[in-house]
């Protein structure tokens, strides 16, 4: 089932007084139940594409459709709360909240309070294999792999249909990196979620269902896109 679509999407920004055409006429349709890898050199447009898909900004040209509706006509705060969850390389956890409180936070933003929010957050933590013993620890007391799993649990709140991950294993060792991709694959294949990962990690790329080769802000066929993968 189609869940997210880019239709001739373009986006530019200024950097040191010159224009960067970060995304140029991208079109692609994403389906639920699949894991996608967005692969390309640094500066190729991967992260900008994820930001647009996640509703952190709007395209300057073209449309991004979520369930057939353009994000330009949506409340983007609501879209980010309930439609698309983002997982960052540096985790972006709240340092003065416990692991459990970090997962509860988006639930509380959506009006789910108290014991119900706590119960839902605990269930999400179990889904990503976080042990009960660490749920009351602050992020600074957790390993990198544990922090990333907290970030994934937080992204799964509100039964989101799209998960966007920007270099989710970039700060992790190989064992923790493997655990993260297993969790993301399980979320896609068992929870019928669409998972889109921007990555240079060959191990992740080999375990995805489909690869998008991003070159100079465009999606290229595999034969052309391998340049972006090899030199990423």
Give mean pLDDT in consecutive 10-residue pieces for the chain, a chain of 232 residues: 94 87 96 95 92 95 96 93 89 95 93 93 91 95 93 88 91 85 92 93 90 94 52 42
* 141: three-class secondary structure by DSSP: helix
In whole angstroms, give the CA distance from residue 64 to residue 27: 9
Q: What is the CA radius of gyration of the chain?
A: 17
Task: Give the per-residue pLDDT at 172.
Answer: 83
* Cross-strand pairs, 29: 5
> Which residue's structure tokens are 């749920």?
135
Provide the b/e sequence for 136-175 (b: ≥16 CB within 10 Å).
Answer: eebbeebebbbbbbbbbbbbbbbebbbbbbbbbbbbbeee
Task: Give the per-residue pLDDT at 17.
Answer: 78
Task: Give the per-residue pLDDT at 227.
Answer: 44
Structure tokens at 197: 């990962």
> Domain 2-91+158-195+208-230 maps to which CATH number in 3.40.50.300, 3.40.190.10, 3.40.630.30, 3.40.109.10?
3.40.50.300
């Amino acid at each position: 089932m189609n869940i997210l679509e880019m239709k001739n999407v373009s986006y530019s920004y200024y950097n040191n007084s010159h224009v960067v055409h970060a995304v140029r006429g991208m079109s692609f349709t994403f389906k639920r139940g699949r894991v996608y890898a967005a692969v390309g050199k640094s500066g190729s447009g991967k992260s900008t594409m994820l930001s647009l898909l996640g509703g952190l900004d709007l395209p300057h040209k073209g449309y991004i459709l979520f369930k057939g509706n353009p994000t330009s006509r949506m409340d983007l705060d609501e879209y980010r709360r309930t439609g698309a969850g983002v997982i960052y390389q540096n985790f972006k956890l709240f340092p003065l909240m416990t692991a459990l409180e970090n997962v509860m936070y988006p639930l509380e933003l959506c009006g789910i309070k108290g014991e119900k929010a706590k119960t839902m957050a605990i269930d999400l933590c179990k889904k990503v294999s976080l042990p009960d013993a660490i749920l009351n620890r602050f992020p600074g007391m957790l390993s990198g792999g544990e922090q990333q799993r907290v970030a994934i649990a937080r992204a799964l709140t509100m039964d989101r249909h799209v998960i966007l991950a920007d270099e989710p294993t970039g700060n992790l060792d190989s064992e923790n990196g493997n655990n993260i991709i297993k969790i993301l694959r399980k979320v896609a294949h068992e929870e019928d979620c669409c998972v889109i990962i921007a990555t240079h990690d060959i191990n992740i790329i080999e375990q995805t269902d489909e690869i998008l080769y991003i070159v100079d802000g465009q999606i290229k066929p595999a034969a052309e896109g391998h340049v972006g993968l090899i030199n990423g």
